[in-house]
Amino acid sequence: MRCAVLVGLLLAGCGHGPEAALPVGSAPVVTAMVTAVAETDPVASTDDAADDPAIWRNPADPARSLIVATDKRAGLHLYDLKGRRLDFAASPRLNNVDLRAGVRIGGVPGVLVAASDRADDAQAKMALFRLDAVARKLVPLASVPVGPGEAYGMCLWTRARDGALFAFVVMKDGRIDQMAFDLSGAVPTATRVRSLKLGTQSEGCVADDRTGRLYVSEEDVGLWGFDADPAAPATPEPLAKVDGVRLFADAEGMTLAPMGRKGGYLVVSSQGDNSYALYRLPDMRFAGRFRIGDGKVDGTSETDGIDLVVGDFGPDYPGGLMVAQDGDNAPATQNFKLVAWGAVKRALGLR
């Protein structure tokens, strides 16, 4: 089925499964409230600058885990779990970021960080770094060309059957280029192996390493799913729509809270009403909404990027860590808020 037809079905609310249009007169969806435990140092740039985080969990000492985050006017920040800036890698227009640990870069085990690079609006690129977890530094590796267009979103996927690493780079116009990495040399390279397409402006994406499922947010339309394998058909599956009740435009950042072989939750930034929507995996049943309100630190609004990693992150985040961009951190510039995943689960009554 052509993408334009699928978009029409999704907007009409007559498409896929449980996320069809809500009945007329149905009760409003309750939005739970949580507060952040900490916040990062503000980014240096003014206006709309902070954008997207990625979390690295230190398996040996979870409380010394790290957060990589973009300042799309200046470069890439590295923070600790107290929110203190540890390092900065200058690059003028990085937008979204993701990372993968346990890879071999030039034959040496390490953590690969990849960010979508908008320095050239006509030519999308990925900026690649090594996260030196011992020195707590970001080491630039390469700038990899992707294809024509302006790079917005990006996410990484590790194929379970062979450990192959791929990136999905989401262009502003809705095209998604899938890149296969070659990390065997000292300087990583990547080759485009497939292109996918959505109808309008898209950005957020996340890939499930367990199931080989790619999730993408089309900002004013809704959420889509693809088979992440490059040999699979490029047909998008409509999953949930921007309905102004559960999910508000713009639908932005996406992240996963995996449980077991294929369960857990997909979390989406519902930017238009300063909230976050949850969908159960694998069937995408709506599971609830929450906001990050004022508490020890101020809450979030107009969130772009989010990331979430389950597991022990020390005494402040024993069940997992969520990081969300804050679009209004006045009087300071924008930054990122750190939230305990356990607090979200309790607020929503999730198991």
pLDDT per position as a tens digit, 72-102: 999 999 999 999 999 999 998 999 999 999 9
What does the block give as tokens for 85?
A: 């800036």
Secondary structure of residue 344 in the 3-state scheme: helix
Q: How far apart are CA 35 and CA 346, in angstroms?
A: 12
Q: How far apart are CA 218 and CA 201, in angstroms?
A: 6
Hey, what's the torsion of the CAs at 256, 81, 51, 127, to 10 degrees? -90
pLDDT at 6: 37
Q: Is 311 exposed, middle or buried (0-12, 13-18, 19+ CB in 10 A)?
A: middle
31-348: which CATH architecture? Answer: 6 Propeller (2.120)
pLDDT at 30: 86
pTM for the full predicted model: 0.92
pLDDT at 351: 83
**For strand 75-79 and strand 222-227, is the pairing parallel, antiparallel, or unpaired?**
unpaired
pLDDT at 29: 85
What does the block give as tokens for 78?
A: 């590295």
What does the block give as tokens for 29?
A: 């969806």
Each domain of the chain, given as residue ranges in start order, spans 31-348
- Residue among 277, 293, 292, 342 at smallest CA distance from 316: 342
| Segments of the chain scoring below 50 in pLDDT | 1-26
Q: Is 294 exposed, middle or buried (0-12, 13-18, 19+ CB in 10 A)?
A: exposed
